[in-house]
Amino acid sequence: MKSSSETAQHMNITKTFLTLTLLLLLHRLSAQKNIPLYAGQIPNSTMATGLKDSVLLFQMGKDTGHFVIRVVQPDLTMFLPEKSKSTGIAVVICPGGGYAGLAVDHEGFAMAKRFQTNGIAAFVLRYRLPNAAYMQHKEIVPLQDAQRAIQLVRENAAEWGIHPDKIGILGSSAGGHLASTVGTHFLQSQVDNPKKTSLRPDFMILNYPVISFADSLTHAGSRSNLIGSAPNTAMGGSEQQIKNQFLAVEKIWAYSSELVVTPQTPPTFITHAIDDTVVPVQNTLVFIAALQKNSVPVESFFYTHGGHGYGMDNPTSEVEWFDACLSWLLKMKKH
């Protein structure tokens, strides 16, 4: 016979499971459709039979959040606005999580619903997290999934009431790194593209983004999870060791978005809190400087306080970056 404490524990576990199931169901109901990114073989996947997606629960204030720690079948969750309210604008949303997980609630679904209410189609991307245990070339896999998301939305734009030249990408934290990588690497296709569909997002929205992989600026966890540990700065050793050191430096360069901006980089809205101690605000500042140097339109929004990971609503401020972002986005409707 179970003790009262065991019974209470069992009831709490059951309640948590039912809550998780209900919340996920509500997300699916409020979204119009869940779309697999790939119809057949998932590129670079070496997954073992039976491997499944994995989600953790975490407490965020009074709310319970979901942190996806493994994505086996990458997909888009679609939020289409009512036709009478549609602006024709669409945004692919990349939740953050240090390339170790996806904060799909406050950096994904919550934003998508807000966009949907304002006539903007939103697509929450559950991209694969880089893990050599069940994928090849792990450093390109998130980019591959994000490029496929842009491709999929653009090729179905007419069916979904979207203007094919008003499709952008949004990312928070490491999701911001991914979004900025999509915006700076669109000529380097990582997906099959028989229709020659443009993989260039028409705009970027970057929320407290990881931008640089330089030692002095980066979020070390994001860099390590995506491309591995930083190289030993003391060059030396065998020929192969020296070659590996140079390859590591090349990866840091390639995945530092501020170093690969061109005049073709999409117009950008970027926001950050100055007191962010997780991803230093200098990430945003160097990216703004690179955009301006290349005459790329950029609009910025800074909080004095807020730290990191506040998502859409910074509790330290009565002013929301999201409102300024919507105003910026809706200007695109007129062009």
Q: Specify the pLDDT at position 4.
A: 52
d(CA 271, CA 327): 14
d(CA 105, CA 123): 13
Q: What are phi and psi of 168, to 5 degrees?
A: -120, -175
Q: Is residue 10 part of a domain?
A: no
What are the start-end ranges of the H helices in 188-238? 220-227
Q: Specify the pLDDT at position 27.
A: 44
Q: Is residue 21 part of a domain?
A: no
| Cα separations in angstroms, 160 against 20, 32, 122, 127, 283 | 30, 11, 11, 21, 35
Residue numbers of the domain that contains 148: 31-334
Q: Specify the pLDDT at position 13.
A: 44
Beta bridge partners of 273: 303
Check which CATH number belongs to the domain holding 73 and give it.
3.40.50.1820
Number of domains into which the chain is organized: 1
Beta bridge partners of 167: 90
DSSP conformation class of 235 = -
What string of pLDDT tens digits covers the 335 residues of the chain? 555 555 445 545 444 444 444 444 444 444 568 999 999 899 999 976 678 889 998 776 677 789 999 999 999 999 999 999 999 999 999 999 999 999 999 999 999 999 999 999 999 999 999 999 999 999 999 999 999 999 999 999 999 999 999 999 999 999 999 999 999 999 999 999 999 999 999 999 999 999 999 988 999 999 999 998 765 545 556 665 555 555 667 889 899 999 999 999 999 999 999 999 999 999 999 999 999 999 999 999 999 999 999 999 999 999 999 999 999 999 876 65
d(CA 117, CA 109): 12
Tokens representing residue 37 in the block: 């990114």
Q: Specify the pLDDT at position 307.
A: 97
Residues whose CB falls within 8 Å of the CB of residue 229, separated by 6 or more in sequence, listed in order: none
Beta bridge partners of 34: 77
Tokens representing residue 186 in the block: 């669109």
Q: Specify the pLDDT at position 60.
A: 66
Q: Is residue 74 part of a domain?
A: yes
- What pairing do the DSSP bridges indicate for beta strands 167-172 and 90-94? parallel
Q: Is residue 23 part of a domain?
A: no
Burial class (CB in 10 A: 0-12, 13-18, 19+), 62: exposed
Question: Against a cut of 0.75, is the pTM above it?
Answer: yes
What letters, b where the CB count within 10 A reaches 16 and e where it falls short, cover 252-278?
bebbbbbbbbeeebbbbbbbbbeebee
Q: Is residue 254 part of a domain?
A: yes
Q: Specify the pLDDT at position 304.
A: 97
Q: How many CA atoms lie within 13 A of 237 on its CB side?
A: 12
The amino acid sitting at 257 is S
- What pairing do the DSSP bridges indicate for beta strands 204-207 and 121-126? unpaired
Q: Is residue 176 part of a domain?
A: yes
Q: Are 89 and 332 in contact (CB under 8 A)?
A: yes
